[in-house]
Structure 1
């Protein structure tokens, strides 16, 4: 679940923060009312901002824009790392995204909160103000990682100048392409959707990697994180899959408290999904059987079956690979580069 922190500075602002937080049931929310809660009287706003910039997906300041800007400015890390930051005036009349409008989803969250509060969202990003296609917004809405966010400016800049940008995709493309975006052209700037993050299809190439791969892992009890990491890296290299494409880790439920596996997931910021032996055995497909594994955990294969199960029946991209007591497999769920505008609007909401 995503994490949000609200901070307010007056009694009226605290009430607005309470109303706004209630509009985000899909977030774990914390509210800090600095002039209302005596326990916060001696705390520093700069320390709050420093911690929130690391911990949170969303920070909401209920107060003046200047306060928010001064609080977060020393801790900015870049487009790909900064959380969404919003400002709501204490009366709840305006909701203003000031950071990570596209990649962090601040613009969409501003519109969502404004709708719920009966307020006005104040969107200032150029592509939104001029109703141009925003490639980073599309990427965030379609579970794609932007590998080189510094190249967003070339694609967005070209679109704002009225130029055409290119699109190359290793995945099926569906829906009507946005204005000024073309397949198979040779514009100066463009974006590539796929796993090859080195492809230089355009003079200025932005790489989008769909997070559609699940890594199934089986391991001996007590296997350390580094051993699991090494086996996973071999599987990814073999399949030509970058880490950015990995959406989650899957295994059997008897491994749900395995320290090395949990540390491995934590290091990569990935969730661990576990399945019972019965569930894994029920998955249909052609898997690599092992009598030893069947006798040990009650299912003839863990890594391949877990990966496919997590990928909602997706195809195996890398079959079972065994290394130093670790087995790893990769499965890829079905995914399309969908440019249907209605679906994008639905995902924003």
Structure 2
């Protein structure tokens, strides 16, 4: 996916700079007069609305670091069809939220919002109906170099034990120390489940109820992976399947909302 990142302020430019590596060096657009470190934009612009009119048809994904209202006014004249429009994601200057604003499914904005949130430690905001009804969160941990098929087998078994289906999973979650595990990423891709990355700092600071392991703490510096990640990735989540280990993979299943 060819991507562009557009920022409007110096603070927004700093946030945009944090996205360049994780998003595979997207094209960067900054306003005239805004300088941010060593960032070299593809182009400077005077008007976000005019710039958007030019670049909207050129990219499959656009990330705007600015207020959502500005983005709505900028893209409004350009919007044609969900089958043709690029995915549009909006990030605030404080990098708190990554909002899937346009073309969540066909344009890939939902997945792009998760990628952006993983890069920034932000909360992904996804409002498409088919995603909002999903309440199951899967936390995943593994040994180094675990194969995709092992992760899939463990995931299948854990969901069966929890009485849930993969189609009900809102997203999977793992810790940042495991974000480069191909087996985890590929298994989630095979199932079409977005993968959230939870920071080690967030896990260390989490005071929720989960099974703490001195062995995990010795190796990763945190007291757990799959259980706290599942709980942290959801809203008011509770465990419906505690940590289950299978062939080098650990899975925990959580459900959003109050316990019955």
Q: CA deviation at 1:225?
A: 0.6
CA-CA distance at 1:220 after TM superposition: 0.2
Classify 1:255/1:141 alpha carbon distance in 2 versus 1 (closer, same or farther; 3 Å): closer
The correspondence for 2:211, drawn from 278, 288, 291, is: 288
Which structure 2 segments of 5+ residues have no match? 4-51, 63-77, 86-103, 108-125
Alignment coverage as a number of residue pairs = 163
How many Å separate the matches in 1 of 2:106 and 2:144? Answer: 40
Larger RCO, structures 1/2 (Cα 8 Å, 6+ apart): 2
Q: Which residue of 2 aligns with 1:166?
A: none
- Report how far residue 321 of structure 1 moved: 0.6
What secondary structure, in the 3-state scheme, does the structure 1 residue paired with 2:251 have? Answer: strand
Aligned positions of 1:97-112 closer than 5 A: none
Structure 1 unaligned residues grouped into runs of 5+:
4-17, 30-59, 63-82, 88-102, 107-139, 146-208, 336-349
Query: Residue in 1 aligned with 2:188?
Result: 265
Alpha-carbon distance in 1 for matches of 2:226, 2:105 = 33
Structure 1 length normalisation: TM-score?
A: 0.39
Deviation by residue 1:109-152 (Cα, 9 ceiling, x = unmatched): xxxxxxxxxxxxxxxxxxxxxxxxxxxxxxx966336xxxxxxx
Equivalent residue in structure 2 for 1:254, among 170, 177, 188: 177
The equivalent of 1:28 in structure 2 is: 61
Residues 1:280 and 1:225: Cα distance change in structure 2 (over 3 Å)? same
Give the Å deviation of 1:278: 2.8
Q: Give how far 1:295 is off.
A: 0.6
User: Against the structure 1 CA distance between its residues 226 and 142, is the aligned structure 2 distance closer, same or farther, given a 3 Å change threshold?
Assistant: same
Q: 1:234 to 1:21 in 2, by over 3 A?
A: same
Matches of 2:127 and 2:154, distance apart in 1: 31
Say if 2:231 is the partner of 1:308.
yes
Pick closer, same or farther for the CA change 1:61–1:223 going to 2, 3 Å: same
CA apart distance, 1:19: 3.6
CA deviation after TM superposition for structure 1 residue 314, in Å = 1.1
> SS at 1:244's partner residue?
helix
CA distance in 2, matches of 1:289, 1:141: 34
8 Å CA contact 1:143, 1:211 repeated in 2: no
Which of these two proteins has the greater Rg computed from alpha carbons? 1
Partner residue, 1:327: 250
2 CA distance for matches of 1:210 and 1:304? 22
- The answer to whether the 8 Å contact 1:281/1:305 transfers is no
Q: 1:86 to 1:251 in 2, by over 3 A?
A: closer
Distance 1:243 1:85, change over 3 A: same
Displacement over 3 Å in runs of 4+: 18-23, 83-87, 103-106, 140-143
Distance 1:86 1:285 in 2: 44
